[in-house]
């Protein structure tokens, strides 16, 4: 198939799958087979485009004008290619995990869950391949709305409250700030297209550029830059597969992907490097990294600890992009993939612990590694990646971020990275210690979670290690992004 046909397939397959899943709802085995098949078809379509993009091809598709001069259009470039590969690949593993989790916990509304999940991946593909700001904005909003039923899945008051916070923060930031930033960009640049080197040029002064950048950075609420982060821990009321979707596959990745895309293809790294008006962004990102790590350090609830870890790790991407060097931009792109593999492993492990042992607090995990060795072994791999230690994906991305900071003498950023690394170790390693080196309570009798869950978390842990040894593909795409 041609790259254009594959692009169309990547955009429509998840939505076709959602319809088929709905029709198969009364036959759980068929429903879940359709889910896995849809995820596999999507990944094959996306992966088949990759060689063309690596060779310099940029497939594009223009559908229709939304307003005069504003097209609904799609164009595949290296950053979107990497994001789509990660999201579509992890959907397969997350679907396998979801089968074990949803059945193991006798969750209700399972058909709705799988339908919304497929829709969320469709919106994610539209974000990844958006050819301009207005297309990205529409897909970004669609992702928020499609994932709302997933956040409120349990239907109780706590879920509804978490859903209100989720929807309120993400819609308010995008409509009040992000949309305004897009309108200003359109008026200044005369276009909303994503172009290598940026579209704004030197049309704005330093202060105005800094103000427009603030509209984008705080308007992209899915990136969870403080103080626009509260929706993320609030959304932890959702089932664990949804938490994995939020933290690793789609939602927060859509946020930091959009941050990098805006800095590289709207502002242009070279255009804003050296402007004093943008110096605030590394400071805010650094503060978010440290502050969220401190909250995670104090959290006893496992999912809350992982949620604030995500807030911190997302700002690594923002910080790296804000350093405005080729090496740091490569690090930002790589960290999108590295964090996805490591964090989905951690959430998978948390869900497995809940399913098998009904434990949710860190203080309850003494000796659990002896009864759930595969789960906690995978957790240890994910934790090492979040800390940034070899041989894991997190080391690769942090190496480039740190190299970019050192080569340009940005020592505050270097200090933030080192301090946060120690904090990461401080809130992850005690969990591993408890799991493997403390005695288990005498009444503990459980074993591993259902097999699909264990297989899924072992696969993602393996991917976390594999990216350390086989980083050629993501690195090639990241270098194309940094090189314009």
With a CB cutoff of 8 Å and minimum separation 6, the contacts of 344 are 90, 93, 94, 244, 247, 248, 249, 460
Query: Of 483 and 479, which is predicted with more confidence?
Result: 479
What confidence tier does 69 reach under pLDDT thresholds 50, 70, 90?
confident
Average pLDDT, integer, range 325-335: 95
Instruction: Tokens 């270098």: give the residue.
Output: 479
Residue 102: pLDDT band with limits 50, 70, 90? confident
CB distance 285 to 318 below 8 Å: yes
The answer to the question of residue 358 being in a domain is yes
* Residues 398, 329 contacting (CB under 8 angstroms): no
Q: How confident is the model over 445-476, as pLDDT tens digits?
A: 678 989 999 999 999 999 999 999 999 999 99
Which pLDDT tens digit goes with each residue over 108-131?
888 999 999 999 999 999 999 999
The residue with greater pLDDT, 67 or 362, is 362
> Cβ of 432: how many Cβ atoms within 10 Å?
17
As a whole number of angstroms, the distance between CA 432 and CA 444 comes to: 18
In a domain, 187, yes or no: no
How distant is the alpha carbon of residue 13 from its chain centre? 21
Task: Name the nearest CA neighbour of 117 among 221, 10, 39, 214.
Answer: 39
CA distance 40 to 441: 42
Distance between CA 482 and CA 484 in Å, rounded? 5
DSSP letter for 55, please: T
pLDDT at 484 over 60: no
For residues 195-200, give the mean pLDDT: 93
Mean pLDDT of 236-242: 76
**11: confidence class by pLDDT, cuts 50, 70, 90:** very high
Gap between the Cα atoms of 475 and 468, Å rounded: 11
Give the pLDDT band (50/70/90) at residue 67. Answer: confident
The helix-helix angle for 302-322 and 393-407 (nearest 10°) equals 40
Mean pLDDT value across the chain: 92
- Residue 252 token pair: 């927060």
Q: Please check the confidence at residue 1 and state whether its pLDDT lies above 90.
A: no
In a domain, 263, yes or no: no
Q: Are 88 and 7 in contact (CB under 8 A)?
A: no
Sequence-distant (6+) residues with CB within 8 A of 41 are 9, 13, 17
Residues 293/227, Cβ–Cβ less than 8 Å? no
Mean pLDDT along residues 342-358: 92
Q: Say how far apart CA 27 and CA 315 lie, in whole Å.
A: 42
Q: How big is the chain by its Cα radius of gyration, in Å? A: 21
The whole-number pLDDT of residue 445 equals 66
At 409 the three-state DSSP class reads: coil
Residue corresponding to tokens 């264990």: 454
Residue 334 Cα to chain centre, angstroms: 12
Average pLDDT of 13-21? 97
Mean pLDDT of 58-72: 89
pLDDT value of position 214? 96
Mean pLDDT of 287-298: 96
Contact 232, 315 (CB under 8 A): no
Give per-residue pLDDT as tens, 145-167.
Answer: 999 998 898 778 888 998 899 99
Q: Look at residue 406 and tell me if it is in a domain.
A: yes
On the CB side of 140, how many CA atoms lie within 13 Å of its CA?
28
Average of pLDDT values for 187-207?
A: 92
Q: How confident is the model at residue 254 (pLDDT cuts 50, 70, 90)?
A: very high
- pLDDT at residue 248 is higher than 80: no
Q: Rounded to two decimals, what is the model's pTM?
A: 0.94
User: What percentage of the chain carries pLDDT values higher than 90?
Assistant: 79
First to last CA, the chain: 27
Residue 384 lies in a domain: yes
Q: Greater confidence, 70 or 445? A: 70
Residue 224 lies in a domain: no
Residue 444 lies in a domain: yes
324 φ/ψ sector (left φ>0, alpha ψ -120 to 50, else beta): left
Task: Look at residue 133 in the predicted model and tell me its pLDDT.
Answer: 97
- How confident is the model at residue 444, as a pLDDT? 64
Cβ contacts of 78 within 8 Å, gap of 6 or more: 53, 477, 478, 480, 481
Please state the domain count of the chain: 1
β-strand partners of 361: 301
Residue 137, domain member (yes or no): no
Please tell me whether residue 228 adopts helix, strand or coil conformation: coil
Q: Span 278-285, mean pLDDT?
A: 94
3-state class of 248 per DSSP? helix
What pLDDT is stored for residue 243 in this prediction?
74
Question: How many Å apart are CA 25 and CA 459, to the nearest integer?
Answer: 27
Residue-range definition of the domain harbouring residue 299: 279-484
Residue 154 has a pLDDT of 77
């Amino acid at each position: 198939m041609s790259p254009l046909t594959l692009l169309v397939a990547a955009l429509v397959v998840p939505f076709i799958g959602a319809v088929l899943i709905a029709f198969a709802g009364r036959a759980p085995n068929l429903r879940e087979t359709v889910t896995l098949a849809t995820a596999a078809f999507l990944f094959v379509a996306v992966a088949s485009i990759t060689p063309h993009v690596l060779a310099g091809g940029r497939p594009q598709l223009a559908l229709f004008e939304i307003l005069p001069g504003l097209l609904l259009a799609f164009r595949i470039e290296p950053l979107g290619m990497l994001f789509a590969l990660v999201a579509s690949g992890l959907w397969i593993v997350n679907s396998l995990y979801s089968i074990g989790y949803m059945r193991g916990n006798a969750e209700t509304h399972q058909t709705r869950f799988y339908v919304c999940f497929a829709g969320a991946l469709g919106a994610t593909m539209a974000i990844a391949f958006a050819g301009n700001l207005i297309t990205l904005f529409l897909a970004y909003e669609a992702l928020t709305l499609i994932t709302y039923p997933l956040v409120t899945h349990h239907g109780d008051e706590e879920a509804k409250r978490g859903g209100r916070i989720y929807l309120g923060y993400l819609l308010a930031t995008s409509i009040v700030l992000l949309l305004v930033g897009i309108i200003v960009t359109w008026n200044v640049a005369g276009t909303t297209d994503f172009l290598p080197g940026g579209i704004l040029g030197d049309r704005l002064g330093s202060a105005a550029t800094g103000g427009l950048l603030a509209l984008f950075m705080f308007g992209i609420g899915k990136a969870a830059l403080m103080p626009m982060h509260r929706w993320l821990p609030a959304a932890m009321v959702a089932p664990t597969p949804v938490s994995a979707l939020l933290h690793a596959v789609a939602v927060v990745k859509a946020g930091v992907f959009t941050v990098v895309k805006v800095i590289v293809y709207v502002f242009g790294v070279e255009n804003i490097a050296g402007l004093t008006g943008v110096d605030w962004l590394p400071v805010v990102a650094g503060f978010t990294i440290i502050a969220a790590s401190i909250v995670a350090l104090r959290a006893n609830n496992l999912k809350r600890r992982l949620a604030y870890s995500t807030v911190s790790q997302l700002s690594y991407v923002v910080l790296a992009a804000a350093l405005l060097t080729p090496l740091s931009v490569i690090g930002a792109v790589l960290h999108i993939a590295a964090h996805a593999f490591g964090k989905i492993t951690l959430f998978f492990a948390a869900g497995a612990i809940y399913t098998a042992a009904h434990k949710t607090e860190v203080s309850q995990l003494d000796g659990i590694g002896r009864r759930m060795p595969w789960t906690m072994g995978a957790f240890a791999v994910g934790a090492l990646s979040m800390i940034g230690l070899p041989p894991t994906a997190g080391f690769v991305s942090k190496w480039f971020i740190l190299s970019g900071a050192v080569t340009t003498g940005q020592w505050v950023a270097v200090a933030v990275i080192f301090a946060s690394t120690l904090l990461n170790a401080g809130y992850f390693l005690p969990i591993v210690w408890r799991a493997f080196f403390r005695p288990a309570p005498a009444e503990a009798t459980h074993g591993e979670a259902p097999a699909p869950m264990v297989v899924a978390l072992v696969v993602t842990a393996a991917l976390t290690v594999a990216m350390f040894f086989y980083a050629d593909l993501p690195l090639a795409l990241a270098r194309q992004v940094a090189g314009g």
